[in-house]
Amino acid sequence: MPAESRPASRWKIRPVAWAVLIVVGVLGTAYDIFYRYPDAPGPGIGQTMKVDIPPGVGPDKLSRILDEKGIISSPGRFRLWLRVTDRLPGVKAGLFALDDNMTPAKILSVISGRPENRGVRVTIPEGFTLGQIGKTLEDAGIVAQENFFMAAGKGKTLTRLRIPGPSAEGFLFPDTYFFERGTPAEDIVNAMYENFSTRFKSLGAPAETDLLEVVTSASIVQAEAKITDEMPIIAGVYRNRLTDPNFPSRLLQADPTVAYGCEPGVVPRAPSCSGFIGKLTRKHLEDSKNQYNTYRHAGLPPGPICAPGIAALKAALQPAGVPYLYFVAGKDERHRFSKTLLEHKEAVKLYRKGL
């Protein structure tokens, strides 16, 4: 038989067949997810359900909530649709009325709008401490500051949420929330931590990331920086202070950490914190009994000192590669950065002259 008339061997046919099957499968899935699935009715007969969407909900939890309520029949497809269409950022927290025969597109439309009962609106700014968050919640009539503070520092809560710090400080995301008056303090901590967890995951940190180290660094950057574009630079300076052989003391010398050491919830209380009203003096900077005093203790403090926002967290994960070891306040809320102690001293002179 002539060579050109021989039938193709199986090993040559199979790869082609597999490639065709894969392409057909991918196209079929794409058609289903983008065109058919969004307009497919839900599994029910039109029964209305009340669904509570928590702040910062991720695709996995949202799919699980809707599946448990009988609103959707395929949480896997709904989750995939959310991911590939990037619809999740529009979802609002609150209580919604959803019918169990709604299409996925209609569900997203409803929960991206105004909830039926949003509760009390409360905004937690970036850089707030647990004490400030608690006071804000109490002033809004949502929960007593003391109850919130206890929930945020309770060991059982930290273990359940896998928070690695000495308290929930730094792990409750600063954002706008809606809570009912009388909401249990632990539920508030849960919602704020879940929001933090979702936001942090969005930054794509490597699996081996030391979460406590990153959040602690980010909180110091948040407390120091007034301008967002300076955050990576300040994070780079602190990284240099911890790792550069030209800075062997490894002292961060960050004023906000010293002040945080005098917060009411920090124990044991340092002697210099007695009567502290927010203004640091030499006695505060020299007090080695303040465990957050980075003028006396090398390395990072025991934990975060405030609630960092996304920009500060990103800066801590990706510090700028800068040659600076020092910085001091300058004009327009910016800082002057210096490579050497001599340059820094000159910058300090300018600061004291108001220049």
The string of pLDDT tens digits covering residues 103-134 is: 888 888 888 876 666 678 899 999 999 999 99
Residue 70, SS3 per DSSP: coil
Range list for CATH 3.30.1490.480 in the chain: 48-111
> What are 31's two structure tokens?
């058609």
Does residue 238 carry a pLDDT above 80?
yes
Rounded CA gap, 60 and 75, in Å? 8
Q: Is the peptide bond between 268 and the residue preceding it cis, with omega within 30 degrees of 0?
A: yes
The pLDDT assigned to 36 comes to 77
The pLDDT assigned to 347 comes to 92
Q: 6 pLDDT band (50/70/90 cuts)?
A: low
Residue 231, SS3 per DSSP: helix
Rounded CA gap, 165 and 302, in Å? 8
Q: What is the dotted CATH code of the domain comprising 48-111? A: 3.30.1490.480
- Match domain 120-201 to its CATH number in 3.30.70, 3.30.1490, 2.60.40, 3.30.310: 3.30.1490
Does residue 241 carry a pLDDT above 90?
yes
| CA geometry: angle 164, 165, 166, nearest 5 deg | 130
Instruction: Number of helices (H) and strands (E) in the chain: give both, helices first.
Output: 14, 6
Rounded CA gap, 179 and 142, in Å? 7
Rounded CA gap, 181 and 275, in Å? 34
Q: In sequence order, what are the residues at sequence separation of 6 or more whose Cβ sits closer than 8 angstroms to the Cβ of residue 89?
A: none
162-202 confidence digits (pLDDT tens): 999 999 999 999 998 989 889 999 999 999 999 999 999 99
Burial of residue 161 (number of CB atoms within 10 Å: 0-12, 13-18, 19+): middle
The pLDDT assigned to 30 comes to 60
136-153 confidence digits (pLDDT tens): 999 999 999 999 999 999
* 286 C-beta neighbours (distance < 10 Å), count: 12
| CA geometry: angle 23, 27, 28, nearest 5 deg | 115
Contact 230, 322 (CB under 8 A): no
- Percent of the chain at pLDDT > 70 equals 88
> What are 9's two structure tokens?
């061997």
Q: 289 pLDDT band (50/70/90 cuts)?
A: very high
The pLDDT assigned to 284 comes to 96
Q: In sequence order, what are the residues at sequence separation of 6 or more whose Cβ sits closer than 8 angstroms to the Cβ of residue 72?
A: 42, 43, 63, 66, 78, 104, 107
**Choice between 43 and 192, residue whose per-residue pLDDT is larger:** 192
**Choice between 325 and 78, residue whose per-residue pLDDT is larger:** 325
Q: 10 pLDDT band (50/70/90 cuts)?
A: low
> What are 68's two structure tokens?
């448990």
Q: 44 pLDDT band (50/70/90 cuts)?
A: confident
Q: 87 pLDDT band (50/70/90 cuts)?
A: low
| Ramachandran bin of 333, using left for φ above 0, alpha for ψ from -120 to 50, beta for the remaining angles | left
